[in-house]
Chains A and B, each alone.
Chain A
Amino acid sequence: MASSQNQKQGYLFIAPATIHLLVFALIPLGYALYISFFRWNLLKGETEFLALQNYQDIFNDGPFWNAMKNSFYYVLGSVPLGMGVALLVALLVNSSLKGMNLFRTIYYFPAITSQVALAMVWIYIFLPERGMINSALAMVGLPNSTSFLNETAWAMPALIFMSIWVGLGPRMILFLAGLIGIPDPLYEAASIDGASKWRQFWSVTLPMLAPTSLFVLITSTIGAFQVFTPIYMMTKGGPDDSTDVVGYHIYTTAWRDFQMGKASAQSFVLLLVILALAYLQYRLMKGQAEGYSAV
């Protein structure tokens, strides 16, 4: 009696969240798969069953693979650099000196800011001649006419640079939590053994941070593969499709060309790539992460 009462209560408590999960995640997942088997024009309302044609087409879809290549460029540029910078900054703010909270707050601030507002100010920062970067370059006598967002060689590095700035705060806080969690006796033991500060960083700090790094790596990679707002606001995928990343490419397939079936198939390919990478990262770092977090 008590137990069946308990059962019923359990289902009541999870009912709203579970209905939401069904309607806005699980059913759409199945629906997306269904759509991906059709030629499905949203505007004209036409549908035609194609079976796996959309997926086969992706193999020969040059622009899609160009977008995939751009995404890899963006991810490989922004994630390792962003993590490295964030770890250094975490070491810098991991201190009981006065004012640390103020610094942490300032560094975190971009992450909570409107992405559209940030895109607007960064367009300005990247402008030729009068932009912040170019006018700083001019002051030290360097050429100041690079239009960073309008040159194929510079647009992607510019977006990566901005992403490191935006993403610094959350990554820094995660690393900081990891650093604070390292037990002091480990450092004491290392210094009794005569390890220098430098040696301690490599032999104690970095290995002990492995679980944190794994978490930051996977979440950053997933986030970077889905980047949309800065592209939409700042480059529209240009110049010459050099910043047309997969997230934006799928957006244009769906909401500019209204090819919903094709876009759905593309989104499953993206999901597969993300899952494969997350799994790979997990496998590569799991041994390390588990070996040390047991301490």
Chain B
Amino acid sequence: MRFKRILLNCARYFLLILLAVFMAAPFIWMAVVSLLPSETQIPDLPQMVSIVRSWLTLGELPPPSIGNYPFVLLMPELPVFRFLLNSVFVTGSVVAGQLLVCSMAAYAFARLQFIGRDLIFRLFLISMMFAGVVVQIPVYMMVRSFGWLDTYAALIVPGLSSAFNIFLLRQYFITIPRELDDAAKMDGAGDWLVYWKVILPMSKASLATAAAFTFVATWTDFFWPLLATSSLRMRTLEVGLSVFKNSYGATNWPLQMTAAVITMLPMALVFLLAQRYFIRGISLGSIK
């Protein structure tokens, strides 16, 4: 019996590791190719294996070189630093704005009584169904008529609220015991103080989850920044990377993979630091 369990565990680990290799392989590929000299022909599988083996054992092949990174970052024809700053600024503003706007609305839907509350809440939920498909063209035309095209306003303002986050935060707020509000109100606190001093501090984990999702969605958004910006200096990293790919064709793989790694890294760091919020949040979202 005991023997059988050990055998089963070994089988489980074997499958898990096999799958992990499969899931991680494209990233390993990306990283290894980015460390090859620019203009190198892309390695096929056997060459890849011998490159990695040589690097790990300090073998005869040339060692990895990080030279592509400063080259791509400092490229005069492509303002990669500017893309990075744009992405940081836009994502930061959207995350901060959304947390405030969505948590305020969520507080009202969870705690306050007012005429039309449930109807308005339902409108938010319904908007999740059509938001992606239908509104792109009219939103573009509206943003154009505001004179916002190719500005930060176009990149930030349409992202300042999200029905999904309102829903997520409301679901959490209604689980906070009302006695806490009542105690604060006995001490003379109004709704703003209850919201700011009671509800928000109690909800740090949920806010972090909402922030994590918004961060990824905004950082990796491609479609909207592609439409809303046209000049190189307003591009975000994600769109800048696609420009980079098109201007360097499929010829210079090491430079392309370097640019891809640069685009991925900030996101990867955030993910590793905040992964428990991702994993919590995605299961929260499934609760009806």
A interface with B by C-beta (< 8 Å): 3, 6-7, 9-11, 13-14, 16-18, 20-21, 23-29, 31-32, 35, 42, 89, 92-93, 95, 97, 99, 103-110, 112-118, 120-125, 127, 129-132, 134-136, 138-139, 165, 168, 170, 173-174, 176-178, 211-212, 215-216, 222, 226, 228-229, 232-233, 247, 254-255, 260, 263-264, 267-268, 270-271, 274-275, 278
A29 and B132 CA atoms in complex are apart in Å by 11
User: Once the chains bind, are A267 and B133 in contact (CB under 8 Å)?
Assistant: yes
Point out which of A113, A255, A267 has the most chain B C-beta atoms below 10 A from its C-beta: A113
B117 within 8 A of A: yes
**19 additional contacts, CB 8 Å, given A31-B141, A120-B260?**
A6-B114, A9-B114, A9-B190, A9-B191, A14-B109, A18-B120, A28-B135, A29-B134, A31-B142, A97-B12, A106-B24, A124-B33, A130-B42, A174-B282, A216-B286, A222-B132, A233-B245, A247-B133, A263-B137
Measured CB to CB, the closest approach of chain B to A255, in angstroms, equals 7
User: Once the chains bind, are A132 and B245 in contact (CB under 8 Å)?
Assistant: no
Q: What 0/1 pattern do residues 141 to 176 of B give for CB contact below 8 A with A?
A: 110000000000000001011010010000000000
B interface with A by C-beta (< 8 Å): 9, 12-13, 15-16, 19-20, 22-27, 29-30, 33, 41-46, 100-102, 104-105, 107-109, 112-115, 117, 120, 123-124, 127, 129-139, 141-142, 158, 160-161, 163, 166, 190-191, 195, 216, 219-220, 222-223, 227, 237-239, 241-242, 245, 250, 253, 256-257, 260-261, 263-264, 267-268, 271-272, 275, 278-279, 282-283, 286, 288
Q: What are the residues of chain B within 8 A of A113 when measuring CB–CB? A: 220, 264, 267-268
Complex partner residue of A121 from B41, B113, B160, B257, CB under 8 angstroms: B257
Describe B's contact surface by its main secondary structure: helix
Using a Cβ cutoff of 8 Å, how many contacts connect chains A and B?
256
A26 and B129 CA atoms in complex are apart in Å by 12
Residue of B nearest to A165 (CB): B23
User: Once the chains bind, are B241 and A117 in contact (CB under 8 Å)?
Assistant: yes
Measured CB to CB, the closest approach of chain A to B76, in angstroms, equals 22
User: Once the chains bind, are B113 and A10 in contact (CB under 8 Å)?
Assistant: yes
A254 and B222 CA atoms in complex are apart in Å by 17
Residue of A nearest to B281 (CB): A173
* Contact of A25 with B256 at beta-carbon distance under 8 Å, contacts A17-B166, A177-B283 already known: no
A24 and B159 CA atoms in complex are apart in Å by 9
User: Once the chains bind, are A173 and B283 in contact (CB under 8 Å)?
Assistant: yes
Subset of 23 A-B contacts with CB under 8 Å: A6-B191, A16-B161, A17-B105, A18-B120, A25-B135, A35-B138, A92-B19, A109-B268, A110-B23, A114-B238, A116-B242, A117-B260, A118-B26, A120-B260, A121-B26, A121-B27, A123-B250, A132-B29, A135-B46, A138-B44, A174-B283, A232-B222, A275-B129
Q: What are the residues of chain B within 8 A of A170 when measuring CB–CB? A: 282
Complex partner residue of A13 from B132, B191, B242, CB under 8 angstroms: B191
Q: What are the residues of chain A within 8 A of B24 when measuring CB–CB? A: 106, 109
User: Once the chains bind, are B271 and A112 in contact (CB under 8 Å)?
Assistant: yes
